[in-house]
């Protein structure tokens, strides 16, 4: 029974993560396919840039944030998942976000989803991420640099602030690796 619950939780998490909120918002309200403009990304930053209104960044960001938070929250409270099983759920959320079944396995870069997950699993790390993100954004004026810096801060902050656990470290390494991989085009552009 527990295996069935876990499998269902992972499937649902992937599907929830796959909901392309930025793409749907731009398509439904403005008739614009954001994958064809700007960076081609469906995330909050590109949607706001393409639509020309910074408010839309917060709409998309908050939807993705709470989508992730509520999924992990409900899997713990309703299905009694914990530890490595909850990390699996969170991992599938991120995979769904980056490789959406609804967009032929394209997707976002996962930062808002990461923050929603951190808000539930590691609230202290969320605070560290946000502080680093703000500082780097003020210095660099680049959202992606701030996001990568905030992501990099997660592991050292975890070692300093929390009791080290193998599955937690493994999950955080997965987060850092995935976010950097999803930003590979930004990094190539920065290097060139």
Half-sphere exposure of 38 (CA within 13 A, CB side): 21
Instruction: Report the candidate in 97, 72, 95 with the shortest Cα–Cα distance to residue 85.
Output: 72
Task: Write out pLDDT tens, residues 176-190.
Answer: 999 999 888 877 776
108 Cβ contact partners less than 8 Å away, ≥ 6 residues apart? 20, 22, 41, 42, 43, 64, 97, 98, 182
Output the DSSP codes for 83-106. HHHHHHHHHHHHHHHHSBGGGTTB
| pLDDT for position 168 | 95
Q: Please give the angle made by the CA atoms of 136, 137 and 141, to the nearest 5 degrees.
A: 120
State the Cα–Cα distance between residues 87 and 132, nearest whole angstrom: 24
Question: What mean pLDDT comes out for the span 5-13?
Answer: 93
Residue 1 has pLDDT above 70, yes or no: no
Residue indicated by tokens 């020309």: 52
Residue 62 has pLDDT above 70, yes or no: yes
| pLDDT for position 188 | 75
- Give how far Cα 71 sits from Cα of 88, 90, 91, 116, 155, Å: 12, 8, 12, 9, 23
């Amino acid at each position: 029974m527990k295996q069935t619950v876990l499998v269902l939780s992972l499937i649902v998490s992937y599907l929830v993560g796959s909901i392309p909120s930025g793409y749907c918002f731009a398509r439904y309200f403005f008739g614009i396919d954001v994958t064809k403009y700007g960076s081609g990304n469906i995330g909050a930053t590109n949607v706001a840039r393409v639509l020309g209104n910074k408010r839309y960044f917060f709409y998309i960001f908050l939807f993705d944030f709470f989508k992730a938070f509520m999924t992990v929250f409900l899997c713990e409270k309703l299905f009694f998942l914990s530890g490595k099983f909850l990390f699996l759920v969170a991992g599938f959320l991120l995979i769904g976000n980056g490789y959406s079944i609804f967009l032929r396995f394209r997707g976002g870069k996962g930062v808002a989803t990461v923050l929603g997950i951190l808000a539930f699993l590691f609230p202290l790390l969320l605070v560290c991420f946000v502080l680093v993100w703000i500082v780097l954004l003020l210095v660099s004026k680049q959202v992606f640099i701030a996001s990568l810096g905030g992501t990099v801060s997660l592991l050292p902050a975890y070692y300093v602030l929390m009791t080290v656990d193998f599955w937690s470290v493994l999950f955080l390494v997965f987060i850092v690796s995935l976010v950097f991989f999803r930003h590979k085009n930004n990094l190539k552009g920065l290097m060139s």
